[in-house]
Amino acid sequence: MNWKVCNLCCFIMMIPVLLGCGVYSMSGATTDAQSITVNNFLNSGGGPPNLAQTLTEDLKSYYLQNTRLNIVNEGGELLVEGEIIGYQTTPLAPTADDRAAQTRLTINVAVRFTNNLHPEKDFDQTFTQFADFDQDLSLAQVEGEKVQEILEKIIYDIFQKTVADW
């Protein structure tokens, strides 16, 4: 038999074995869980009125796109919940005329993670990210773009801490 055909047959026979292992691994994520609950985040830190809802929905979407986990409303083997606890701007980089050349927008999110399969992986942690913008621009002019940039970083950090085992 031709070696290419033999290799192809071996590969095809291995597919059920690989799919039946029970451990999911996609985009660096490794977990034996099959479901996750992402509770609605709260917002006690300020910012736009839809900030907590945006974080919650974007986090769910990130898990759906990067794992095989099913999102369930309650009773997931993994549980992510939390609260936006900080939203502030800070002037940076003073210039010669004692003005700030840039402003930093910082968002802090407290996250509680529960792993019902492996309780030793549970954690409470605050994730903080920021984005800088030119002082000549107002927060209103850049807020939408900078908030999205910061949330993408925070979501990535939460994902890495919860299912990527780093």
Span 15-62, pLDDT tens digits = 444 444 443 333 445 568 999 999 999 999 999 999 999 999 999 999
pLDDT-above-70 percentage for the chain: 78
- pLDDT attached to residue 2: 55
pLDDT band at 148 (very low <50, low <70, confident <90, very high): very high
Predicted pLDDT at 96: 67
Q: Are 73 and 42 in contact (CB under 8 A)?
A: no
If 0-12 CB within 10 Å is exposed, 13-18 middle and 19+ buried, where does residue 72 land?
middle
Q: Which DSSP symbol is given to 49?
A: T
Q: Which residue, 98, 90, 106, 96, is CA-closest to 146?
A: 106
pLDDT band at 94 (very low <50, low <70, confident <90, very high): confident
pTM of the complete model: 0.79
Give the position of tokens 């903080």. Answer: 128
